[in-house]
């Protein structure tokens, strides 16, 4: 093998992407003692054949099935409560390495294997199972293997070899790093020098998933990549303090690198790096362990803050911690220049572009009652702002500067929704019927004074209006009293959206309806058929995806049969936050949803397969034996 000369040491620079004040909040699920974790310091993580997580802490081992933690400790038969390493062997058995030896969770219970000598002053730091199902343990920089029920010391070069870490390559061959020597790999029961490295120290290392002859390793606050003839120093420019220390390193299934530090975690992707900390949804605590499960979710074990799960980068949140002046987002719109506008419940209008949030000065004096219910970016480029008590406002550019004007004065109308039809006539749903703006004049739909909450334009001359008594029809600017959807009588309609000949209807606690204007048939989707809540506040359709903002978070459905508008629910990692009425908007790449806890932004991934649904584990079966039952019992099943 070829030794690496430091003369060939190259520096690879990654630009650190981090927005200190206006950064988004990322999608981390948090589990701690309140959720059932036995202790908040997570030392190591692995996964069994049933997709359950096994987590080692300072207070024993936890098994997590996705909803519930089951804990095991000394009283259950473990040799030690402190286990720094945990792994799964080739047959599915879970092994953990502690201060007194190792323990295995077998079909007949917990089996312990103690060290032959008194080595329990320092805990084991790593445990791995190789391709031959041999169990290997790292303790006090010495390598041990389980042989005939006993842990025996293994020598590679010399008796006093100091080994800092052990790992497996793609083929599950064991590899170790020996200080002042390099990486050694066990192939066909023979140790071979894989990469000679005498001038660097590898505290933790992993194999590259795409290039099996490459290794990433961390040392202090440095990240390196090496193979048999090259060593690259990856310089991560960060804005955090200089006393950063790297504790663990991981590569997920997409090839992204993760580093656990003493001040949060770093994600390296596409020649950029992102710091996760308390300001964007994670924690500032030390990260002890990293693990990527079979569904490509990254789990992060911390020193005192419990367990975190990062599902994907397809969802972020903006709230007060990222610069919003109000967390309750009532309305969302976007113009053709890439600006996103957010209407708040009591703090006026915000704009977002280039990762910056700006408070727009609509009123000369800031009024705490300036509640915005709806927004509309007109095709002319103007932005309309519908308020609770301040009337209707317009934002337009004059000499390249924004100018706000009050086009409908306060006093009578509460603006609930704004829409623009094919003739570029602007419509408003109000507490006193529908009004429209045409040729600079404000007009009301005659003989129509019902409370209106939402509008969807339908064809060249019609629009459907949602209210407290179902759906109304306005045709040629006239109310049609003959139109009626009997199934929606006395139902409070909150949101509307048309898709071709179909009209989609969200109600208050009565579910989601699909009306076929050609067949006149009405179908319902509710909690029993896939909704997280029967209250549907907002609706959007992007290509073949239907997005619904509900009382209990966002639901996503895929249109499987466009002719009949058949829907199939898709898995979506989302918080259980109450969304706000008609506060939904999409760009070419994202969909924005206003909630009571900020704005949630989802990446649109129509061509990407849906993530796998969490696995199911049968833990118990109840059998009603009050009547005669015939059944077979074979091999435990």
Q: What are the tens digits of pLDDT across the range 182-208?
A: 999 999 889 999 999 988 999 999 999
Could you count the other beta carbons within 10 Å of the beta carbon of residue 278? Answer: 13
pLDDT greater at residue 149 or residue 539: 539
Percent of the chain with pLDDT over 90: 63
- Whether 55 is in a domain gets the answer yes
pLDDT greater at residue 121 or residue 628: 628
Give me the torsion for CA of 320, 285, 258, 617, rounded to 10°.
-90
Q: Which of 151-160, 227-236, 238-247, 589-598 has the highest mean pLDDT?
A: 589-598
Question: What is the pLDDT at residue 368?
Answer: 60
Task: Specify the pairing of strand 231-236 against strand 9-16.
Answer: parallel
Mean pLDDT over 118-146 rounds to: 83
Q: What are the tens digits of pLDDT across the range 443-475?
A: 999 999 999 999 999 998 999 999 999 999 999
- Whether 530 is in a domain gets the answer no
Query: Is residue 316 scored above 90 in pLDDT?
Result: no
Question: What is the pLDDT at residue 25?
Answer: 76
Nearest in space to 24 (alpha carbons), one of 267, 285, 252, 313: 313
Question: What is the pLDDT at residue 577?
Answer: 86
pLDDT greater at residue 124 or residue 82: 82
pLDDT greater at residue 634 or residue 599: 599
Lowest mean pLDDT among 127-131, 268-272, 619-623: 619-623
Helices vs. strands in the chain: H and E counts, helices first: 0, 58
Distance CA 363, CA 276 (A): 37
Question: What is the pLDDT at residue 15?
Answer: 44
- Whether 218 is in a domain gets the answer yes
Query: Is residue 381 scored above 70 in pLDDT?
Result: yes
Q: What are the tens digits of pLDDT across the range 161-176?
A: 899 999 999 999 999 9
- Whether 488 is in a domain gets the answer no
- The token pair that represents 174 in the structure block: 């064991």
Q: Are 428 and 436 in contact (CB under 8 A)?
A: yes
Q: What is the mean pLDDT of the chain?
A: 87
Lowest mean pLDDT among 392-401, 498-507, 567-576: 567-576
Structural domain including 93 reads 6-309
Query: Is residue 12 scored above 60 in pLDDT?
Result: no
- Whether 546 is in a domain gets the answer no
| Domain containing residue 87: CATH number | 2.130.10.10
- Whether 99 is in a domain gets the answer yes
Distance CA 163, CA 173 (A): 16
- Whether 54 is in a domain gets the answer yes
- Whether 376 is in a domain gets the answer no
Could you count the other beta carbons within 10 Å of the beta carbon of residue 474? Answer: 24
Number of domains in the chain: 1
- The secondary structure element, H or E, covering residue 506 is strand 502-507
Q: What are the tens digits of pLDDT across the range 534-557?
A: 999 999 999 899 999 999 999 999
Q: What are the tens digits of pLDDT across the range 36-76?
A: 999 999 999 999 999 999 999 999 999 998 889 999 999 99
Question: What is the pLDDT at residue 637?
Answer: 42
Sheet holding 246-251, edge to edge: 204-207, 215-219, 222-226, 231-236, 9-16, 272-276, 264-269, 257-261, 246-251
Give the three-class secondary structure for 521.
coil
Q: Are 497 and 540 in contact (CB under 8 A)?
A: yes
């Amino acid at each position: 093998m070829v030794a690496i000369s430091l003369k060939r040491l190259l520096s690879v620079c990654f630009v650190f992407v981090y927005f200190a004040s206006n950064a988004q909040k990322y999608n981390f699920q948090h589990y701690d003692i309140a959720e059932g974790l036995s202790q908040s310091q997570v030392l190591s993580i692995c996964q069994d054949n049933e997709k359950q997580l096994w987590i080692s802490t300072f207070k024993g081992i936890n098994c997590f099935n996705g909803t519930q933690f089951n804990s095991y400790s000394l009283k259950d038969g473990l040799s030690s409560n402190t286990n720094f390493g945990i792994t799964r062997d080739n047959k599915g058995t879970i092994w953990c390495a502690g201060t007194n030896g190792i323990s295995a969770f077998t079909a007949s219970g917990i089996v312990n294997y103690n060290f032959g000598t008194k080595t329990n002053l320092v805990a084991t730091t790593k445990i791995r199972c190789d391709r031959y199902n041999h169990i290997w343990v790292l303790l006090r920089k010495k390598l041990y293997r389980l042989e005939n029920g006993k842990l025996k010391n293994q020598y590679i070069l010399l008796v006093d070899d100091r080994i800092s870490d052990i790992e497996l390559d793609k083929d599950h061959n064991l590899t170790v790093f020996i200080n002042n020597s390099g990486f050694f790999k066990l192939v066909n029961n023979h140790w071979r020098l894989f990469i000679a490295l005498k001038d660097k120290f590898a505290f933790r290392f992993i194999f590259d998933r795409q290039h099996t002859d490459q290794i990433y390793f961390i040392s202090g606050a440095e990240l390196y990549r090496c193979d048999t003839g090259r060593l690259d120093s990856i310089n991560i420019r960060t804005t955090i303090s200089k006393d950063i220390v790297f504790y663990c390193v991981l590569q997920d299934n997409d090839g992204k690198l993760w580093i656990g530090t003493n001040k949060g975690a770093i994600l390296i992707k596409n020649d950029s790096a992102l710091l996760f900390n308390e300001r964007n949804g994670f924690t500032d605590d030390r990260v002890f362990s990293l693990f990527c499960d079979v569904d490509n979710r990254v789990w992060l074990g911390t020193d005192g803050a419990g367990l975190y799960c990062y599902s994907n980068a397809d969802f972020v949140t903006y709230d007060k911690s990222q610069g919003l002046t109000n967390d309750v987002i009532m309305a969302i719109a976007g113009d053709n220049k890439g600006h996103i506008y957010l209407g708040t419940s009591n703090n006026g209008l915000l704009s977002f572009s280039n990762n910056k949030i700006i408070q727009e000065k609509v009123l000369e004096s800031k009024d705490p009652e300036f509640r915005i219910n709806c927004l509309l970016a007109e095709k002319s480029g103007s932005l309309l702002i519908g308020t609770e008590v301040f009337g209707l406002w317009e934002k337009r550019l004059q000499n390249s500067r924004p100018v706000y004007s009050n086009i409908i004065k306060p006093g009578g109308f509460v603006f609930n929704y704004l829409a623009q039809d094919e003739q570029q006539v602007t419509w408003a749903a109000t507490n006193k019927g529908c009004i429209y703006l045409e040729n600079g004049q404000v007009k009301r739909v005659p003989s129509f004074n019902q409370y209106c909450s939402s509008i969807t334009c339908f064809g060249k001359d019609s629009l459907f209006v949602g209210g407290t008594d179902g759906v109304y029809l306005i045709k040629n600017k006239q109310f049609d009293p003959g139109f009626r959807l009997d199934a929606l009588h006395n139902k409070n309609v909150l949101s509307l959206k048309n898709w071709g000949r179909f009209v989609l209807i969200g109600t208050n606690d009565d579910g989601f309806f699909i009306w076929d204007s050609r067949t006149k048939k009405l179908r319902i989707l509710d909690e029993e058929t896939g909704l997280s809540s029967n209250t549907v506040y907002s609706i959007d359709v992007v290509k073949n995806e239907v997005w619904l903002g509900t009382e209990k978070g966002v639901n996503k459905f895929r249109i499987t049969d466009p002719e009949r508008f058949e829907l199939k629910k898709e898995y979506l990692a989302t918080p259980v936050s109450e969304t706000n009425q008609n506060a939904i908007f999409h760009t070419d790449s994202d969909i924005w949803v206003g909630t009571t806890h900020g704005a949630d932004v989802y990446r649109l991934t129509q061509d990407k397969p849906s993530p796998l649904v969490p696995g199911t584990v049968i833990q118990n079966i109840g059998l009603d034996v009050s009547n005669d039952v015939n059944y077979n019992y074979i091999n435990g099943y």
